[in-house]
Structure 1
Amino acid sequence: MSDASVRHRVGEVTLTVLGPDRRPLADRAVTVAQQRHAFAFGNIGFDFVGLVGGPPPEATGPVFGGDTGLDLHRLGESWLNLFNTATLPFYWGPYEPRQGTTDVERLTRTARWFADRGVTVKGHPLVWHTVQPSWLLDLDLDEVERLQRTRIRELTSGFAGLIDLWDAINEAVIMPVFANGDNAITRLARARGRIAMVRMAFEEARAGNPTATLVLNDFDLSSAYECLIEGVLEAGIRIDAIGLQTHMHQGYRGEEYMRDVLDRFARYGLPLHLTETTLVSGHLMPPDIEDLNDYRIPHWPTTPDGEARQADEIVRHYRSLVAHPAVASINYWGLTDDGAWLGAPVGLVRADGSRKPSYDALEGLIKGEWWMPPTEMRTGPDGRVAVRGFFGDYTISGIPFAIRPGQATASVCIDG
């Protein structure tokens, strides 16, 4: 915690430790331990939909993630050890393969499984032009819009209290001009315009769940995204966070690149969510590939050299992101290699469940440098003890307390 680059993530609270009679306990040995980070360290939970929720309503299968071959206990142990925020898939196509037949039961069970373990659950996405149900294609645009609006409200209201964090709209920059196959949402976006689509997503989502945190998410980190954000804000549309995707299948882009990106988007005064982060542990995708989806090969193995590179780069990447005060969340896009997006070896554990060096390296940050393990301390003559650590939830001799920005003092009562 002596690293100056993360001092904005660290606080100190002076606790007054009281006994059952509400008197300060002087010279008392206590054990302080961190329980959870306030910072959102996330990963997708796609693999858990099958493990927890069971088979899909139709034989569509999950979109980015398949049968890992790992049991729930082993996969869950690796996931829960590092992450506190889970992104679950709500792609319209597999969610509603036939009109009126939805995957709501499986996703509810999966979201509940995570929530019962103290994990914040996020839904992805409410509006996107890709992975759409084919039955939308035969409908006129007014009906497509009506159904899209209904879907947004039903999801946000139906999952309120369980899922209060959503990617409201995904990749709106290219939505009206997307040319990789016909879909009804691109045609709707072309007719209505980008800002109208964003307004629809956010206003319908807020109508369904007024307390939800809603993210505008995109992979396009160019000035085109900045122009969209400026237009959205000028139109009076309230967004809660800016989502930035960083799938780095062609290699780590480096600290300087990321600082420039973060600074450009931080100027809007909104929290930055690094929504989709990947680094490969095999060979890198050729640099001439413009659309990552165009690189399809039968087998993309993880390699020892690639794993060493991935471990080094994930530490550099996470350090640079956590060091930036505007970043509120980092979501890695996949725990395992099996079923990973585009078949890329981006996971932190191998297909057999064994940990890659990148998992251990990330654990060294999240549960090492940036974490307080059980620590023996002693109260002073006034029953007080000062605790310094990363913002988050803690216990002192089993009694919960928190370290939060702006909080200087607190009292806790210990029995016995």
Structure 2
Amino acid sequence: MTASVRRVTATVTLTDDDGRPLARRDVTVRQRRHAFEFGCVGTHPGETDTHVQRAWLDVFDTATLPVYWGRYEPVRGEPRRAELEQAARWHADRGVRLKGHPLVWHTVKAPWLDTLPLSEVEQLLRARIRREVTDFAGLIDVWDVVNEAVIMPRFTNEPDGVPNAITRLCAEIGRVELVRLAVEEARAAGTSPRLLINDFDLGPEYEQLVEDLLAAGVEIDAIGLQSHMHKGFHGEERLLEVCERFARFGLPLHWTETTLLSGEHVPREIEDLNDHVVDDWPSTPEGEERQAEEIVRHYTTLVGHPAVHSITYWGIEDGGWLDAPSGLLRRDGSPKPAYDALRGLVRGEWWVDERADRTDEEGRLEVEGFAGTYEVRVGTATAELELGPDQESHAALRVG
């Protein structure tokens, strides 16, 4: 399997506004965005675009925005909608697709929820889901609907000693019914969101959960697969094995949380990555070369699998998650070799730069490249096209 599975050949017919073919006209064609989602945790918007923001936009076209309940609504009844909307609009205005993460999770949940009776917890959770999906419809229409459901009913990390409300609810009604609750509420407003379940457990329990959800008629749109490789790169064989196991369900696969280190790896004996806490965790020259090689192997392997529709890198800068040297930029904002390597794929080897062409006597031309959004230009007139495999497209341009 190679990235060539993403390449398309499309026949495009160009006409003027009156439907007359633009025959034997000089045309320029350039790609604007991939159909495949190359994602990253969203960057921080500001009044002017910074170096980091420009670096982000020069590689990524899909942003995951944090909507953790405990941070979004730390005080009951006071959601931070304006902050999230500002971040969402900044990305959307620059042509970036958006996903909200997550609607339901047992971690970073609202602490004021834990002391409430389960009946009230369920009603508040339902309202929270419907509110966020409705408030951001048309802006954020993709959501990690439930995060890490496999471990959820047995989650016991309760540092304040108060039983976790989301854990209790999941244990009471079961994983399948919790996901059903979340999916039904997310779809209740009729806004047609695209909903993923997402997990770090890529073993038999997660497979069984997906199987049980589909058998129960729970409508999920994609399967999220996490890949925080802090103990070392998984390798092509394991990546493909995971893809094959989950591809059998016939749903798109999204590799939702990817990290590769450019510093020392986490010791193998540490089970929970959150437990690895060190005073200093630097990026090293040797680690950076390794990270660059591994990111090419990782992305090339996954982009080459037809069931994979999306890869999200979990933070562009070092220290963004668990203070690890997992970013593509160093702490001072300078690019690592891994940044250049990934950009060389996404906006280089897998990208169609502007190229000249000419229509035939019927106003047609063939476009070859990677599936996605393309701009065609005749003189000063332009049109955008979505090109997929072996399809015919039509564009009408207002030409002088």
- Give the alignment's TM-score, normalised by structure 2: 0.94
Which one of 391, 395, 399 corresponds to residue 407 of structure 1? 391
Q: Is the 8 A contact 2:387 2:393 kept in 1?
A: no
Give 1:217's aligned residue: 198
Q: Is the 8 A contact 1:12 1:408 kept in 2?
A: no
Give 1:271's aligned residue: 252
Q: How does 1:155-194 map to 2 (within 5 A)?
A: 155-181=132-158, 182-194=163-175
Which one of 372, 376, 391 corresponds to residue 392 of structure 1? 372
Which one of 20, 42, 56 corresponds to residue 39 of structure 2? 42
Unaligned runs of 5+ in 2: none
Give 1:129's aligned residue: 106
Q: Is the 8 A contact 1:349 1:355 kept in 2?
A: yes
Give 1:258's aligned residue: 239
Q: Is the 8 A contact 1:13 1:410 kept in 2?
A: no
Once the two structures are superposed, what CA deviation does each residue of 1:105-160 show, in whole Å capped at 9, x if it has no partner?
10011101111111111100000000122211221111111111110010111111
- Helix, strand or coil: the match of 1:215? strand
- The answer as to 2:78 corresponding to 1:101 is yes
Unaligned runs of 5+ in 1: 53-70
Q: How does 1:363-402 map to 2 (within 5 A)?
A: 363-397=343-377, 398-402=382-386
Q: CA deviation at 1:289?
A: 1.1
How many residues align structurally? 392
Q: Distance in 1 between matches of 2:259 and 2:33?
A: 23
| Deviation >6 Å, runs of 4+ | none
Cα pair distance change 1:412/1:7, threshold 3 Å: farther
Which one of 252, 256, 276 corresponds to residue 295 of structure 1? 276
Q: CA deviation at 1:102?
A: 1.4
Amino acid aligned to 1:308: E
Q: Is the 8 A contact 2:222 2:253 kept in 1?
A: yes
Q: Distance in 1 between matches of 2:34 and 2:152?
A: 35
- The answer as to 2:191 corresponding to 1:207 is no
- Helix, strand or coil: the match of 1:35? strand
Give 1:238's aligned residue: 219
Q: Is the 8 A contact 1:24 1:383 kept in 2?
A: yes
Q: CA deviation at 1:226?
A: 0.6
Q: Is the 8 A contact 1:166 1:213 kept in 2?
A: yes
Identity of aligned residues (%): 54
Amino acid aligned to 2:344: G
- Helix, strand or coil: the match of 1:300? coil
Q: CA deviation at 1:408?
A: 2.5
Give 1:152's aligned residue: 129
Once the two structures are superposed, what CA deviation does each residue of 1:325-368 show, in whole Å capped at 9, x if it has no partner?
10011111001114x11111111111111111111100111001
Q: Distance in 2 between matches of 1:227 and 1:21?
A: 56
- Helix, strand or coil: the match of 2:295? helix
- Helix, strand or coil: the match of 1:243? strand
Q: Is the 8 A contact 1:391 1:403 kept in 2?
A: yes
- Give the alignment's TM-score, normalised by structure 1: 0.90
Q: Distance in 2 between matches of 1:19 and 1:396?
A: 13
Give 1:66's aligned residue: none
Cα pair distance change 1:183/1:414, threshold 3 Å: same
- The answer as to 2:326 corresponding to 1:329 is no
Q: Is the 8 A contact 2:153 2:167 kept in 1?
A: yes
Q: Alignment RMSD, CA only?
A: 1.7
Structure 1, 382-391 or 365-374: larger mean CA deviation:
382-391
Q: CA deviation at 1:405?
A: 3.2
Q: Is the 8 A contact 1:337 1:347 kept in 2?
A: yes
Q: Is the 8 A contact 2:10 2:389 kept in 1?
A: no
Give 2:66's aligned residue: 89
Q: CA deviation at 1:298?
A: 1.8
Which one of 17, 26, 35 corresponds to residue 29 of structure 1? 26
